[in-house]
Amino acid sequence: MFTLRDVTFAYPDQPPVFERFGWEVKEGEVWAVLGPSGCGKSTLLLLLAGLIHPQQGAVWIDAAPLARPRPRTGLVLQEYGLLPWATVRENVALGLRIRRFYGPDGRHVPRDARPDKADEAARVAHWLARLNIADVADHYPTRISGGQRQRAALARTLVLDPDLLLLDEPFSALDAPTRADLQTLTLTLCAESGVTVVLVTHAIEEAAFVGQQILLLHRPPNTRPVVVPHPHPTTANYRNSAAYQSTCAALRAQIEYWGLGIGDQAPNPQSPIPNPQV
């Protein structure tokens, strides 16, 4: 699906966040990117979205270097990004309306897309129902709950049928029950569509539940990926399992280890992380 090849990125007048960093994700995989604040999690997501570009190296998606945002990449932000003057229905339809404006030009819209008003209405109705927000479809964002706003943001992205879904801490502002519910729902929807998922989080418990693979980042510069393979059931009951609790404890131990100022050394060989790949 995508590969980072010797990527070096630094913000102006700052040390590198990534230095000759490489990472590969295959089609249909679900990844969580975990690490402490300031480690480069959101920067990595912006690089994958094509909103910023490395000073050296390249991001390749579907065997082509990424030079600009691509129409099949979906991005969901923590702040929802809903238009306050538009209803939930209008917000969900926004991307489809933009696609009708451009047409299937291959730059803003996939070439195989055939946007029209009838298809737009049907797809919007489907995702409003699928995300259980059809009953608030004609409400404005200020009149609905945080969980409903996040569902609307997800619907606005999924209605565009992305093949790569980037999630930047989308559930962090929600209460615990709503957050758990949306995590499970997101995994279910992604499994149905086969979309590739990269979720950025600072929450160990969220990474352990969402990520079928976990990428650990630490204090910059990040020079190599530390990958924790973590295949597990996507059902809500997994949170109650001993395997889930063990993974959370192992991830917490690794994060705390790096937090001692170890920097860019190899992970602790005595760490309880199961089979990290460096």
Note whether residue 35 is domain-resident.
yes
Interval 141-169: pLDDT, tens: 999 999 999 999 999 999 999 999 999 98
Position 35 confidence tier, pLDDT thresholds 50, 70, 90: confident
Note whether residue 272 is domain-resident.
no
Interval 79-121: pLDDT, tens: 788 999 999 999 999 999 888 888 777 778 888 777 678 888 9
Note whether residue 174 is domain-resident.
yes
Q: In the predicted model, what is the mean pLDDT of residues 211-237?
A: 90
Note whether residue 267 is domain-resident.
no
Q: In the predicted model, what is the mean pLDDT of residues 219-241?
A: 90
Q: How many domains does the chain contain in total? A: 2
Cα–Cα distance, 56 to 41 (Å, whole number): 18
Same domain, 68 and 167: yes
Note whether residue 149 is domain-resident.
yes
Least confident of 31-35, 72-76, 189-193: 189-193
Same domain, 35 and 153: no
Position 248 confidence tier, pLDDT thresholds 50, 70, 90: very high
Cα–Cα distance, 230 to 210 (Å, whole number): 10
pLDDT for residue 119: 84
Same domain, 123 and 9: no
Q: Report angle CA 154, 193, 243 to the nearest 5 degrees.
A: 85
Note whether residue 55 is domain-resident.
yes
Q: In the predicted model, what is the mean pLDDT of residues 173-201?
A: 89
At what angle are helices 117-130 and 88-102 packed, to 10 degrees?
140
Q: In the predicted model, what is the mean pLDDT of residues 27-37?
A: 92
Q: What's the CATH code of the domain at 120? A: 3.40.50.300
CB-side exposure of 185: number of CA atoms within 13 Å?
Answer: 20
Q: Report angle CA 187, 79, 120 to the nearest 5 degrees.
A: 65
Note whether residue 252 is domain-resident.
no
Q: Report angle CA 59, 60, 66 to the nearest 5 degrees.
A: 70
Give the residue numbers spanning the domain of 205. Answer: 1-72+163-217+232-246
